[in-house]
Structure 1
């Protein structure tokens, strides 16, 4: 069986800091990351979706974590086709517009290419330290199964190489009927790692909890089952604590997935207070047992 690393999608959420999970002695950013890294071998950086990282910040992450620690980094929203705040774009690349949010087509081709280049370049300290796991490309609900979108997956793979991109969908068309086999077959053909999810069902952005090995790396993200999934309050959206029974039911599925991969990353994204940390610790114990 391949290695399984378990972690959470945040270590700095304000409700986590208020929850008491960190001891009073972890009173700086450096101490909190060190405390987290003593307990988990993996973390996902979600802040990079909202604003691209600085190379200096990535260097500090690398310095403050032990050998073998892994950072997965979420791709900047501009690179996944989401609406992107103009204020979050590099100052010298911002388009002249009255809009609050823009899309890739609102940038000139040269500026768009530069966003890609700077985003990837900023992660070099993690690469040099051997601590960059995967780049998460989570696509919007309107990113449906069609040829142009499949071609974009291949484009992303080319752009980030030799780094690893992993792909999460938010539209059920990728798995409707025979599309499921088509999607997984395409991913396997091109060795594109698939991100399986556990999430609320019955919504526009819902995809079924399909786990599949499509490359030597697999990722599973647990979003919870909040009955307020459509809320604009991110803590209501992800505020769900998995029960021990729920987590136990996932153990054989995760082990089966890991048997088909070299590396499996499992991330709790139910980031409200210490829910993700508690569930990640419980799941780690269950997988070890």
Structure 2
């Protein structure tokens, strides 16, 4: 039966001090405290700058055996150079991330919404993506996130499946809903799922700038995602899923809400037991 690991995007939010982290907890102890409740986290900081070996070693030292850290591939590779002339930077990043050993979860290639002047068609994007994917080591897990809804087509699925790369399923204004993802027969492209609950960043920032409590009711969406995951999980070995603060106002509270809803759904329909 598939393993379900749920966590948050990042763990170093100042707003969590005194709410998730006990008052007075030093930032250097955040990850160790986080890992007492959850078994996975998505590292966001790697998008902005590659981590140093010392940083990665610290992540490993502060988490227990069985904990998984996923991480974004640096934006310099995915956004600035768009997969071109970045071999040295990619190799250096992968070498550093390998220091996590068995704690390395998945590396996410997060792409923005591309305008037509950047990639006029899906084929144009795939012409750039395919040779890049062919360079990736096969012993690591990778996921690809696109935000062009019209690109969710068989050619993309086939390219990812050929390299056992997961298509990231995201809850985002540009992309399908949980139920709509199920209508794509080729949506599962690897032996694991990678799910990201992102939400509408601009809308929620009009409501709050402090990420210490839920401010948007997402219970209906959560129920639909639970149904979607239950439908897809028999086809994979593991699910890595992460909540962003922008989804409902507080990522760790969203995880807890999901786990409560999952437990209730599982009582009604026994199946997969989640691992935080």
TM-score of the pair, normalised by structure 1: 0.76
Equivalent position of 2:108 in the other structure: 136
Show structure 2 runs of 5+ residues with no match. Answer: 267-276
The alpha-carbon deviation at position 273 of structure 1 amounts to 9.8
Q: Aligned to 1:282, which of 257, 266, 270?
A: 257
Matched, 1:117 2:115: no
Pair 1:79–1:173, CA change in 2 (3 A): same
Q: Distance in 2 between matches of 1:104 and 1:251?
A: 34
Q: How does 1:10-25 map to 2 (within 5 A)?
A: 10-17=10-17, 20-24=19-23
Show structure 1 runs of 5+ residues with no match. Answer: 84-102, 201-205
Contact map agreement 2:167 2:188 (CA 8 A) in 1: yes
Contact map agreement 1:224 1:242 (CA 8 A) in 2: no
CA deviations on 1:170-194 (whole Å, 9 max, x unpaired) are: 112303xxxx344334433443211
The alpha-carbon deviation at position 229 of structure 1 amounts to 7.2
Pair 1:268–1:79, CA change in 2 (3 A): same
Pair 1:261–1:240, CA change in 2 (3 A): farther
Q: Aligned to 2:157, which of 180, 184, 195?
A: 184
Q: How does 1:128-167 map to 2 (within 5 A)?
A: 128=101, 130-142=102-114, 144=119, 145-161=121-137, 162-167=139-144
The alpha-carbon deviation at position 230 of structure 1 amounts to 9.6
Q: Distance in 1 between matches of 2:141 and 2:259?
A: 24
Q: Distance in 2 between matches of 1:241 and 1:230?
A: 11
> Cα RMSD between the aligned structures?
2.9
Q: Distance in 2 between matches of 1:273 and 1:198?
A: 11
Contact map agreement 1:16 1:273 (CA 8 A) in 2: no
Equivalent position of 1:54 in the other structure: 52
Pair 1:52–1:279, CA change in 2 (3 A): same
TM-score of the pair, normalised by structure 2: 0.79
1:195 is paired with a residue whose SS is strand
1:183 is paired with a residue whose SS is helix
Matched, 1:195 2:159: no
Q: Distance in 2 between matches of 1:275 and 1:257?
A: 26
Contact map agreement 2:8 2:251 (CA 8 A) in 1: yes
Equivalent position of 2:148 in the other structure: 171
